[in-house]
Amino acid sequence: MSNESTILPPPVSNAAVETFGLTRHYGTLTALNRLDLTVNRGDLFGFIGSNGAGKTTTLRILSTFLSPSTGTARVLGHDVVREANQVRRILGYMPDFFGVYKDMEVTEYLDFFAACYRIGATKREQTINDVLELVGLSEKKGALIGALSRGMQQRIGLARVLVHDPEILLLDEPASGLDPRARIEMMAILQELQRLGKTILISSHILSELQSLCNRVAIIEKGSLIYTGPVQGVQDQFAQKPGFRLSVADNPQRAIELLRERPEIAEAEPEEESGRIRVVLADGLANGGVIAEIIVNSGLQLTGLEEDEMDLEDVFLQVTRGETQ
């Protein structure tokens, strides 16, 4: 029997995007500070941060448009600096502001970019038909891009990054400036792309939509990572004190005074718009029964009591300060 050890191949990583100590300086400004981030294959991953937090810098590095000052980044195992050409073949990047040739027809515009990716003429027509069907604009083939609405132009921009069938999509604020209907349509398209096996990294300020859209998120501020993981995980981690909303038949100010007198209550504040009272319990308490007991025993009539679950916007406001570089 040979004494030589058997050399096994390295395990196949489930990571689609990885950064290790990713740092970017602009002169004395540090836009990214040792960012360690992992996006798994098949994720619809939300990248959250205030303006100036470092989101766009990260996406530009991943898309090979910008080099890091220090650290490394890989896309499907390819180094974004040393293997930039391989990365560009498997990645589609849609910036927050992109130029469209408004005097071109939709099919001309997409045909031009398909040709840039060296897709043959015979295949280009079918490719363009497929991506237009995917983004719901098959009927706009012959339309001038300049005549399309902002929402339609955004979808044409998404169709452009899909012509070479990339495995990874980096989308920087794809729903920015869209009306509610156009945003809903864009989010539905992204869900379909995930179903088709695409890995999507999306930055957005519309946190309520990311909460229902994404399976994992990362929060970044001043170039540093605050949290990365499942959407529910960020809520569980930062929602430390249970909160409730209650309503009484009359004299809500008296209810607030009674609640504030009790050590079990950390906060009791009126909500002007709803007329309800928001109550936060002290550490270690999770049962809203103590609130009902205080109100009922005081002789006031309790008309409503419900748990106040923190959403992604609440968490974001709690863990960030809105500071920029």
Identify which of 101-105, 172-176, 214-218 has the greatest average pLDDT: 214-218
Q: What is the pLDDT of residue 254?
A: 94
* b (16+ CB within 10 A) / e for 116-125: eeebeeeebe
Q: Which of 132, 151, 150 is nearest to 142 (CA)?
A: 132
Q: Which of 239, 284, 237, 238 is nearest to 265 (CA)?
A: 284
- Domain positions in the chain are 15-236, 241-308
- Predicted confidence (pLDDT) per residue in 254-307, tens digit: 999 999 999 889 889 998 878 899 888 887 566 778 899 999 999 999 999 987
Q: What is the pLDDT of residue 309?
A: 67
Residues 192, 189: Cα–Cα separation, whole Å: 5
Residues 6+ apart with CB under 8 A from 8: none
Lowest mean pLDDT: which of 11-15, 74-78, 141-145, 165-169?
11-15
Confidence grade of residue 218 (pLDDT, cut at 50, 70, 90): very high
Confidence grade of residue 325 (pLDDT, cut at 50, 70, 90): low
Residues 49, 95: Cα–Cα separation, whole Å: 16
- Specify the 3-state DSSP secondary structure of 61: helix
Q: What is the pLDDT of residue 124?
A: 94
**Sheet of 15-26, strands arranged across:** 29-40, 15-26, 70-75, 78-79
Region 107-129 average pLDDT:
94
Say which CATH topology domain 15-236 has: Rossmann fold (3.40.50)
Q: What is the pLDDT of residue 98?
A: 72
CB 135 within 8 A of CB 148: no
- Is 241-308 the same fold as 15-236? no
Residues 6+ apart with CB under 8 A from 123: none
Region 41-70 average pLDDT:
94
User: Which amino acid would we find at residue 214?
Assistant: C
The matching CATH number, chosen from 1.10.10.10, 2.40.50.100, 3.30.70.100, 3.40.640.10, for 241-308 is 3.30.70.100
More confident site: 194 or 275: 194
**Sheet of 44-48, strands arranged across:** 91-94, 168-172, 199-203, 44-48, 216-221, 224-230
Rounded alpha-carbon distances, angstroms, from residue 256 to 57, 68, 284, 287 = 47, 53, 21, 18
pTM: 0.78
